[in-house]
Amino acid sequence: MKRYKMTVEYLGTNYSGWQSQAKGVGVQQIIEATLSEFFKTDIKIHGSGRTDKGAHAKGQVAHFDIDTKIKEYNIIRAVNLILPSDIQIQNLEIVDNNFHSQYDAKSKVYEYKAYISKYERPTLEVDHARIIPPIDMNLIREKAKLLVGTHDFKAFCAVGSAIKDTTRTIYSIDVLEHDGEIIFRFEGNGFLYNMIRIIVGTLVFLGKGAIAKDSIEKMLETGDRDYGGKTYAAKGLTLKEVKY
C-alpha cells in the first residue's frame, strides 16, 4: 500500500468548508467521492485541518492510501477532469507511510485579502472583503505586532467553541498594501476557529477608530471577545501553504 501526499487548490464559495459535513457539502467529500470513483474502491483522505465555510485554499494538503501502478501525473490529470472546476489537485507525490498531513505539519500560512473602497469592486468581491475608508494602516501594523508570539488566543476564537487549549504561536504577521488592496499574511503553528477572521476584524476596527486603541491588549489580558471587532467574512481567507 502506498501513501500519497496531495496538494489541493479550491475556491470555497460553494462549500461548507474543507471537512465532510452532515449538513452541506465539504471539499473533502467531493475529493473522496471522486478518488473512489476513479480507483473503484473506497478512498478516505486526511487533511491538514479544517477551513471555514466559504474560505479558499491554494495549498491545502491531504493524504490517502492506495495500491496502484498509475503514475502520479496521470492520476492528477484524470481526477481533475472528474472534479468540479473550483476544486483541483495541484500536486501528488508518494511519501513515507508514516507521514500524516495533520500531525506532521510544522506551520500554516494564511492570507486574508481586503480592499479599501467606498464602492464595491466586482472583480475583487469573490475573494476580498471590502473596507470602507478612512483607515489608519500604520496603527494596524503597530497593533498586529502585539499578536506575534505565543499567547492565549481565547478572545480570538468563535464564541461557543469546544476547544479547551486556546494557546497558539503566531510566527509572523505581515500587512501588505498595494493600489488599495491589502493582504494580511499570517504564519503560525495552528489557528483557532475563526481566529484569523476575528484578528482581521479587530485590526480593521482599530484602524477605523471603532474600538479602543488598547483593545488587543485587553483581549489578550482578559480573554474577552467583546473587546474586539466583528468577525470578517470568510471569502477573504485563503490557506496558502502547509509547511512540513
Selecting among 52, 86, 136, 152, the annotated active-site residue is: 52
Contacts of 236 (CB under 8 A, 6+ apart): 112, 113, 114, 127, 128, 129, 197, 200
Residue 52 known to be catalytic: yes
Beta strands 56-66 and 237-243: pairing type?
A: parallel
Where are the alpha helices (H) located in 68-155, listed in sequence order? 72-82, 137-144
Question: What's the number of CA atoms in the CB half-sphere (13 Å) around residue 222?
Answer: 11
DSSP 128: -
Q: How far apart are CA 190 and CA 107, in angstroms?
A: 7
Residue 108: strand pairing partners? 188, 242
Cell 490517502 belongs to: 64
Q: So which residues are the catalytic ones?
A: 52
